[in-house]
Amino acid sequence: MKPNILVTREVFDETLAYLSQHCEVEANQQDMAFSPDALVQRLAGKDGVMCSLTDRIDAGLLSACPQIRAVANIAVGYNNIDLAACTARGVMATNTPGVLDDSTADLAWALMLATARRMTEVEGRIRAGEWTGWKLKQWLGVDVHHATLGIIGMGRIGQVIAKRAMGFDMKVIYSNRKRVAPDIEQRLNATYVSRDELLKQADFVVLQVPYSPETHHLIGAAELKAMKPTAILINSTRGGVVDDAALIAALTNGTLRGAGLDVFENEPKLNPGFLQLKNVVLTPHIGSSTEATRRAMAMTAAKNLVAALTGGTPPNLLNPEVTK
Ligand code: GLV
């Protein structure tokens, strides 16, 4: 008998076709986000779930759905899943690392360039008919090339961001829980520094740490104050890594030049303070959102789920201890 699964949000046709070869699939191609109660109801009798970062998979849900054996997230970040609760119940949990590194790094770069050159602000001015002609001192931005890039979190995506910086002749510094291997540092021309040092030196601070209780408000009022007033902050990792209210205060009183943000606290209800500011570039959590990458993420999650439910070991198993 094929295992029963729920796919909580809309996916691509080829994702469903692959899943249907191996599983009895309940899909949600209308893409209605389920409330926590509706999710529990839909999961009755299901062996596995393919979910997204908008679904909270926690101890309560797992105890209400004790037959669940596998949870496959269509995301690399998995702060929406209580991994300890999965492990305690012997539920395999998976994510989608690797396939989104380049696209997510590209978006961080897009935000860096757009914020430095004030692209959304000046586009708004053109659209509003405010451009009356060329002027020498018009809407001056700052250079990205030859500036100092500080990357907090030098995992896979952080490393791709650093690699792109070579083409811009930037000085790259980074901080990380652990220093990366010397050959990686050498290849990326990146220097390990303390977080305090990074905040003091960087012209662009790019955050690439996962969200967890340890990284909650990693950048708050004190860290923003430690940055150069001419610096730009980029957050394309997860809302909550930055204290958004403190960031709005720093951007409002000019203690920070600008910010490029793809993620926010309480998404999608972002702090309305951001909407009043000209020195921010805002995008709606689209870091990995290219056609090719989202297709690859969905298929990666599908393969993880099928492997978990058909006796295999999923390639991206987050809690291998459950297989022992
Ligand atoms: C997207 O935000 C992801 O974690 O994949």
For residue range 46-64, list pLDDT tens digits in order: 999 999 999 999 999 999 9
Q: Does the bond joining 320 to the residue before it have cis omega, within 30 degrees of 0?
A: no
The stretch 22-26 carries a mean pLDDT of 98
Confidence bin at 115 (pLDDT 50/70/90) = very high
Residue whose CA is at the smallest distance from ligand 1 atom 3: 75
CB 287 near ligand 1, within 6 Å: yes
- Backbone angle region of 314, left / alpha / beta, with phi > 0 → left and psi within -120 to 50 → alpha: beta
DSSP-assigned states of every residue in 115-151: HHTTHHHHHHHHHTT---S--TTSS-----TTSEEEE
Our mutation pick for probing the ligand 1 site, out of 9, 53, 79, counting the most ligand atoms within 8 A of Cβ, is 53
The stretch 5-13 carries a mean pLDDT of 98
Chain mean pLDDT for the chain:
98
Confidence bin at 18 (pLDDT 50/70/90) = very high
Per-residue pLDDT at 324 exceeds 90 = no
Confidence bin at 294 (pLDDT 50/70/90) = very high
Q: What is the pLDDT of residue 309?
A: 98
Q: What is the pLDDT of residue 153?
A: 98
Residues 6+ apart with CB under 8 A from 119: 113, 281
Q: Which candidate, 211, 301, 268, places its Cα nearest to that of 9?
A: 301
Is 257 labeled as catalytic in the residue annotation? Answer: no
* Active-site residue (options: 9, 69, 118, 285): 285
pTM, 2 dp: 0.96
| Contact criterion met (CB below 8 Å) for 288 and 236 | no
* Active-site residue (options: 118, 238, 257, 294): 238
pLDDT digits (tens, 9 = 90+) for 52-109: 999 999 999 999 999 999 999 999 999 999 999 999 999 999 999 999 999 999 999 9
Q: Which candidate, 227, 181, 234, places its Cα nearest to that of 208?
A: 234
Q: What are phi and psi of 276, to 5 degrees?
A: -85, -10
Q: What is the pLDDT of residue 107?
A: 98
The stretch 149-159 carries a mean pLDDT of 98
The stretch 134-152 carries a mean pLDDT of 98
Residue whose CA is at the smallest distance from ligand 1 atom 1: 75
Q: What is the pLDDT of residue 312?
A: 94
Is 69 labeled as catalytic in the residue annotation? Answer: no
Q: Which candidate, 177, 108, 183, 121, places its Cα nearest to that of 149?
A: 108
Q: Which tokens go with 238? A: 């997860």
How many other CB atoms are there within 10 angstroms of residue 145's CB atom?
Answer: 10
Is 238 labeled as catalytic in the residue annotation? Answer: yes
Our mutation pick for probing the ligand 1 site, out of 102, 104, 156, 211, counting the most ligand atoms within 8 A of Cβ, is 104
Per-residue pLDDT at 8 exceeds 90 = yes
